[in-house]
């Protein structure tokens, strides 16, 4: 017998709502937290903190929230509008089989995808080992000395190689030569990036062109976009004779069979690792790579993982040469890259571990043999193939039959590449079969022709790789690439690495500015559906209708959230959104005959990507001071606006400020800059404090980028992928980035492509779509308000123990009132105890936490951002750890523990260190390992002791460790 319902039907229907899954604190928790803070209600707290003059006028117009099941059903309908055809398009994107063990245990595993960028080395050893495998794989396949831990895509990697060459070569020329048979999207992005830097791009790698001109670098593709294999030795020599660099975009699978560029004179090699087990995903995310010769290493862009030693003298990984990077070097940085493509780099590296050199070579040989067979059959059918040499792709002269043949292919469920009106392209990959080859012949065959069969050619098939280009050198000889053939072994290797790391599946990651909130499982589920995963970015638009709808809806919703008129989802990370936004401002000024406006004002508290992006956009950075409260110094701002009135292009501000406060003067800042002819860029990384409460497009911003991997739930992936949409007000909409290779017209004076693919990291967009769809306008506003509430709760609980560095100074609110994050100032304690912010960060590992943001934006501080997703019990666990640590510091202050030998200075403690026979310290092993009782039930053990940063940079080593090192 069914019992009668105990609640009204509407309430029962609501029981599956997503909101309480996303937001950690319950209503009772909220009441308690408010009482600790000293606020009457959440609304009263928000009213007290957010300046009235920037509050949203109207609520966001978004569809009402639906449950997880309903949202999944809706996005399935969107996905179903995509048509998954077999792809023979090539052009940098290929079919691949994602090994099941990698799909489930990396891509679908929160231990990998919810991790943060490995700044805290000790809790990131697993993913850094995977990244060192990636770097080793790239070095050995390309034949180069050093490779970084991923780039955003092949085209931007080529552009970064261009500027790396510019910094590194003797030639003083401003001209770049780009081979005409590079992928068109690569040439397009290079042009976008070259123009603001005053670099002239000449397309065509002909010997006479190279003889006539001075140039600082050459970019060529290997194999070319046509499939052709050029012997580029003479071109590299010619470049070197002019003091120029030779840059090669190379395909890693091809390099298992081809003489690697490093053996014939390349200075920089870049490319995509997508075909190493990462789906095409409508163009992204994938890990691109950049490798170079040793003398360029200090000038490389992007993150680099190196080997160092820990406090016990054991090898340990860490991020190397960080002094190149934007967070330290700002406008003088080697690049603006911050978030990269770590999760995909991990996948690609594991594909190499899984297949090993023998398996990769077999895949490549099969592809090359099939290509040769295709070639023979097409010749037999009377076709002229343009490229006599090939690895995996052919370009075929088809006269007036291009439409007809391509249509036959589509009717049979496949796409060919439309190279030119009379040329078709066919590219093969790991997934190609004998049946595919015969099907292709049938589409090409003129009426009445006898169809060849693969068996006809099988006997004497010889790849179309010239003898002079065949590889003889070994690669991937390290045991890691040769000992994981069984799935059991592979599974345990992946599990073992994941276990070394702390990600969101084990602890809060209270990283100020980075917004490590819930990445809900339902949000993640669609990304591996074939309808999203197996689409080629240059497939005919009609086959990508689902993506077009996803793009449209998400942009509409994000316009509602930000108050802007237009958005592009093309930028692959926040840094790229900044760059695209500044290009829009630059192009707008130029369209008004105001090209002389090139000054970009940036407050001293800004994130490092801001000045680095401004430099790349051809602007000069002028720093604006902040006052003692952490606010933009209005007098300094006015003085600088006046001084540069005729050259002022823009200001870049962050709101709430990087100091975590809602500055009351933000409207005045915007008005002042506007009055002097500049535009206002509002860095949207802190949008988690504003969605539903304030909209930058309404209160004075002209351009913002969002970080969908912060505010809108895309996981950090251990340092990428990200999505950095660029959002603009109405008059800047014409200057959003376009994409000619993707079929978008670039108007005169408009901005071209900033990413290789038209929709950037398209395949992770369903995550943000799901989030917004399941939250609705009210849910998103609740999330913002709870994020602010939680930050204020942490500030209130810690205010007696630590200095809250900047606050709104509201006397009624304990902690003074902060936005969605708070800065704990450790500098006074450094004086009294010798304990610094880094010691506290490392000691938190012993307590089972990932540290807050260390020394940004103020050196010697920790910035805590709890987000709305952390339950109150986790907030309390963190606060109690911080309070216990404060008591530990008191022991040092009082002299009970020596300044240089205490649990903070020796943190993190490894099990091995605690099990040593002698224990010469003034604190007990118990105090070291179990400073709070709860740790006895669940303890994270750091796999290494504190990592020595200086040693690692002095003894730079960025490849797999020789096995002897482990013994
Ligand atoms: C994270 C962040 C960025 C850069 O974004 P990425 O996606 O990492 O490139 C820029 N500004 C601020 C304030 C940030 O916190």
Measure the CA–CA gap between 727 and 701, rounded to whole angstroms: 10
Element holding 222 (H helix, E strand): strand 217-222
Q: Interhelix angle for 634-643 vs 666-675, to 10°?
A: 10
Distance 609 CA to ligand 1 centre (A): 7
pLDDT of residue 13: 79
**Is any atom of ligand 1 closer than 6 Å to the C-beta of 658?**
yes
Specify whether the CB–CB gap between 106 and 349 falls below 8 A: no
pLDDT of residue 766: 98
Measure the CA–CA gap between 169 and 241, rounded to whole angstroms: 12
**Is any atom of ligand 1 closer than 6 Å to the C-beta of 707?**
yes
Q: What is the pTM of this model?
A: 0.98
Side-chain-side CA neighbours of 562 within 13 Å: the count stands at 35
**Is any atom of ligand 1 closer than 6 Å to the C-beta of 574?**
yes
pLDDT of residue 967: 54
Distance 513 CA to ligand 1 centre (A): 8
pLDDT of residue 715: 98
Q: Cis peptide leading into 721, omega within 30 of 0?
A: yes
**Is any atom of ligand 1 closer than 6 Å to the C-beta of 685?**
yes
Which residues of the chain form CATH 3.40.640.10? Answer: 116-353, 530-763
Distance 338 CA to ligand 1 centre (A): 7
**Is any atom of ligand 1 closer than 6 Å to the C-beta of 654?**
yes
**Is any atom of ligand 1 closer than 6 Å to the C-beta of 611?**
no
Tally of CB atoms within 10 A around 84: 17
**Is any atom of ligand 1 closer than 6 Å to the C-beta of 609?**
yes
Measure the CA–CA gap between 214 and 707, rounded to whole angstroms: 41
pLDDT bin (cut points 50, 70, 90) of residue 586 is very high
pLDDT of residue 1: 59
Q: How many helices (H) and strands (E) does the chain have?
A: 34, 26
pLDDT in tens, 222-238: 999 999 999 999 999 99
**What secondary structure does DSSP assign to 392-449, as a single string?**
SEEEEE-GGGHHHHHHHHHHTTEE-EEEETTEEEEE--TT--HHHHHHHHHHHSPTTP
454-475: average pLDDT: 96
pLDDT in tens, 396-436: 999 999 999 999 999 999 999 999 999 999 999 999 999 99
pLDDT in tens, 656-683: 999 999 999 999 999 999 999 999 999 9
User: Counting every residue, how long is the chain?
Assistant: 967
**Is any atom of ligand 1 closer than 6 Å to the C-beta of 724?**
yes
Which atom, in ligand 1's list, is nearest to the CA of 578? 10
Measure the CA–CA gap between 595 and 591, rounded to whole angstroms: 8
Tally of CB atoms within 10 A around 527: 21
Which atom, in ligand 1's list, is nearest to the CA of 654? 13
- Report which protein residue has its CA nearest ligand 1's atom 8: 339
CATH placement of domain 116-353: 3.40.640.10
pLDDT in tens, 949-959: 999 999 999 99
Probe residue for ligand 1, chosen from 326, 609, 760 as the CB with the greatest number of ligand atoms within 8 Å:
609
pLDDT in tens, 702-715: 999 999 999 999 99
**Residue keyed to tokens 């330290």:** 328
Which atom, in ligand 1's list, is nearest to the CA of 575? 9
Specify whether the CB–CB gap between 940 and 845 falls below 8 A: yes
Q: Name the DSSP letter for residue 914.
A: H
pLDDT in tens, 66-119: 999 999 999 999 999 999 999 999 999 999 999 999 999 999 999 999 999 999
pLDDT of residue 609: 95
pLDDT bin (cut points 50, 70, 90) of residue 343 is very high
Residues whose CB falls within 8 Å of the CB of residue 439, separated by 6 or more in sequence, listed in order:
412, 414
**Is any atom of ligand 1 closer than 6 Å to the C-beta of 719?**
no
Q: Cis peptide leading into 857, omega within 30 of 0?
A: yes
Kindly tell me the sign of the dihedral angle through the C-alpha atoms of 416, 418, 421, 425: negative
57-70: average pLDDT: 96
The SS3 of residue 72 is: helix
Is the per-residue pLDDT at 2 higher than 80?
Answer: no
**Is any atom of ligand 1 closer than 6 Å to the C-beta of 387?**
no
pLDDT of residue 229: 98
pLDDT of residue 966: 61
- Report which protein residue has its CA nearest ligand 1's atom 2: 685
368-394: average pLDDT: 98
- Report which protein residue has its CA nearest ligand 1's atom 4: 574
525-537: average pLDDT: 98
Is the per-residue pLDDT at 723 higher than 80?
Answer: yes
**Is any atom of ligand 1 closer than 6 Å to the C-beta of 652?**
no
**b or e along 170-199 (b: 16 or more beta carbons within 10 Å of the residue's beta carbon)?**
ebebebbbbbbbbbbbbbbbbbbbbbbbeb
Tally of CB atoms within 10 A around 410: 18
- Report which protein residue has its CA nearest ligand 1's atom 5: 574
Distance 852 CA to ligand 1 centre (A): 16
Is the per-residue pLDDT at 4 higher than 80?
Answer: no
CATH class in words for 530-763: alpha beta
Probe residue for ligand 1, chosen from 333, 574, 696 as the CB with the greatest number of ligand atoms within 8 Å:
574
pLDDT bin (cut points 50, 70, 90) of residue 630 is confident
* Distance separating the N- and C-terminal Cα atoms of the chain: 67
Distance 578 CA to ligand 1 centre (A): 9
Measure the CA–CA gap between 882 and 797, rounded to whole angstroms: 10
**b or e along 345-359 (b: 16 or more beta carbons within 10 Å of the residue's beta carbon)?**
bbbbbbbbbbbbbeb
- Would you give the distance in Å from CA 91 to the centre of its chain? 22
């Amino acid at each position: 017998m069914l019992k009668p319902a105990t609640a009204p039907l509407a309430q029962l229907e609501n029981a599956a709502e997503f909101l309480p899954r996303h937001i950690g604190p319950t209503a009772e928790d909220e009441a308690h937290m408010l009482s600790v803070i000293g606020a009457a209600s959440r609304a009263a707290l928000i009213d007290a903190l957010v300046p009235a003059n920037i509050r949203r006028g109207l609520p966001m117009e978004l569809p009402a929230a639906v449950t997880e099941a309903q949202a999944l059903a809706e996005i399935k309908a969107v996905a179903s509008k995509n048509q998954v055809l077999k792809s023979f398009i090539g052009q940098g994107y290929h079919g691949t089989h994602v090994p099941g063990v990698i799909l489930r245990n990396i891509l679908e595993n929160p231990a990998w995808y919810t991790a943060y960028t490995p700044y805290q080395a000790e809790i990131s050893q697993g993913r850094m080992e995977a990244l060192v495998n990636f770097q080793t794989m790239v070095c050995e396949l390309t034949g180069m000395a050093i490779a970084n831990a991923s780039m955003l895509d092949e085209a931007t990697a080529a552009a970064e190689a261009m500027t790396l060459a510019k910094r590194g070569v003797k030639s003083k020329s401003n001209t770049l030569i780009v081979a005409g048979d590079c992928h068109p999207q690569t040439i397009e992005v290079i042009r976008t990036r070259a123009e603001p830097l005053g670099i002239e791009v000449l397309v065509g790698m002909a010997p006479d062109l190279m003889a006539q001109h001075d140039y600082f670098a050459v970019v060529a593709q290997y194999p070319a976009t046509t499939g052709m294999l050029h012997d580029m030795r003479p071109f590299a020599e010619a470049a070197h004779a002019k003091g120029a660099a030779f840059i090669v975009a190379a395909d890693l699978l091809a390099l298992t069979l081809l003489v690697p560029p490093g053996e014939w004179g390349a200075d920089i090699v870049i490319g995509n690792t997508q075909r190493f087990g990462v789906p095409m995903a409508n163009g992204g995310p994938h890990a691109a790579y950049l490798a170079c010769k040793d003398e360029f290493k200090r000038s490389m862009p992007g993150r680099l993982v190196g080997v160092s030693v820990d406090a016990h003298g054991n090898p340990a990984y860490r991020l190397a040469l960080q002094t190149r990077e934007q967070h330290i070097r700002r406008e003088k940085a080697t690049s603006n890259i911050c978030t990269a493509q770590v999760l995909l780099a991990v996948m690609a590296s594991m594909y190499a571990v899984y297949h090993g050199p023998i398996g990769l070579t077999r895949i490549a040989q099969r592809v090359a043999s099939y290509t040769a067979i295709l070639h023979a059959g097409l010749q037999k059918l009377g076709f002229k193939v343009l490229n006599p040499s090939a690895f995996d792709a052919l370009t075929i002269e088809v006269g007036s039959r291009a439409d007809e043949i391509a249509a036959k292919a589509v009717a049979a469920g496949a796409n060919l590449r439309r190279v030119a009106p009379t040329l078709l392209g066919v590219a093969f990959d790991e997934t190609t079969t004998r049946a595919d080859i015969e099907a292709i012949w049938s589409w090409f065959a003129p009426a009445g022709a006898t169809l060849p069969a693969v068996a006809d050619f099988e006997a004497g098939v010889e790849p179309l790789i010239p003898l002079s280009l065949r590889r003889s050198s070994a690669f991937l000889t390290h045991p890691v690439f040769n000992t994981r053939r069984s799935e059991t072994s592979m599974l345990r290797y992946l599990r073992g690495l994941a276990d070394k790391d702390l990600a969101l599946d084990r602890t809060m990651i209270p990283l100020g500015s980075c917004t490590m909130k819930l990445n809900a499982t339902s949000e993640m589920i669609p990304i591996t559906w074939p309808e999203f995963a197996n689409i080629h970015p240059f497939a005919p638009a009609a086959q990508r209708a689902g993506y077009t709808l996803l793009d449209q809806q998400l942009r509409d919703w994000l316009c509602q959230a930000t108050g802007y008129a237009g958005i592009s989802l093309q930028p692959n990370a926040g840094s790229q959104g900044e760059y695209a936004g500044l290009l829009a401002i630059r192009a707008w000024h130029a369209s008004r005959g105001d090209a002389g406006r090139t000054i970009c004002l940036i407050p001293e508290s800004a994130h490092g990507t801001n000045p680095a992006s401004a430099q790349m956009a051809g602007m000069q950075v002028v720093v604006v001071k902040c006052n003692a409260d952490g606010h933009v110094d209005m007098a300094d701002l006015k003085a600088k606006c006046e001084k540069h009135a005729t050259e002022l292009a823009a200001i870049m501000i962050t709101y709430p400020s990087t100091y975590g406060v809602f500055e009351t003067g933000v409207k005045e800042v915007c008005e002042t800059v506007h009055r002097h002819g500049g535009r206002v860029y509002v860095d949207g990384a802190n949008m988690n404090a504003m969605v539903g409460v304030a909209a930058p497009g309404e209160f004075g911003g002209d351009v913002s980028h969002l970080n969908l991997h912060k505010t809108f739930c895309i996981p950090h992936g251990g340092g990428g992928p990200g999505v950095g949409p660029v959002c603009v007000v109405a008059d800047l909409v014409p200057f959003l980035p376009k994409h000619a290779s993707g079929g978008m017209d670039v108007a005169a004076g408009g901005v071209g492509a900033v990413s290789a693919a038209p929709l950037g990291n398209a395949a992770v967009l369903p995550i943000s779509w799901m989030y917004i769809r399941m939250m609705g306008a009210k849910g998103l506003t609740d999330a913002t308000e709870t994020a602010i509430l939680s930050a204020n709760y942490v500030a209130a609980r810690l205010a007696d123990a630590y200095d809250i560095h900047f606050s709104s100074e509201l006397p009624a609110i304990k902690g003074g009132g902060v936005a969605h994050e708070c800065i704990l100032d450790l500098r006074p304690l450094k004086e009294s105890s010798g304990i610094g912010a880094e010691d506290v960060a490392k000691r938190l590992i012993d307590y089972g936490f990932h540290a807050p943001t260390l020394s940004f934006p103020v050196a010697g501080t920790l910035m805590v951002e709890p987000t709305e997703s952390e339950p109150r019990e986790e907030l309390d666990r963190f606060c109690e750890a911080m309070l216990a640590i404060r008591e530990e510091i008191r022991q040092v202050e009082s002299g009970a523990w020596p300044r240089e030998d205490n649990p903070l200075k020796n943190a993190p403690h490894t099990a091995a260190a605690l099990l040593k026979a002698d224990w010469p310290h003034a604190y007990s092993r118990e105090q070291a390992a179990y400073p709070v009782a709860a740790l006895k039930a669940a303890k994270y053990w750091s796999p290494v002791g504190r990592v020595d940063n200086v040693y690692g940079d002095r003894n730079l080593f960025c490849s797999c460790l020789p096995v002897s090192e482990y013994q």
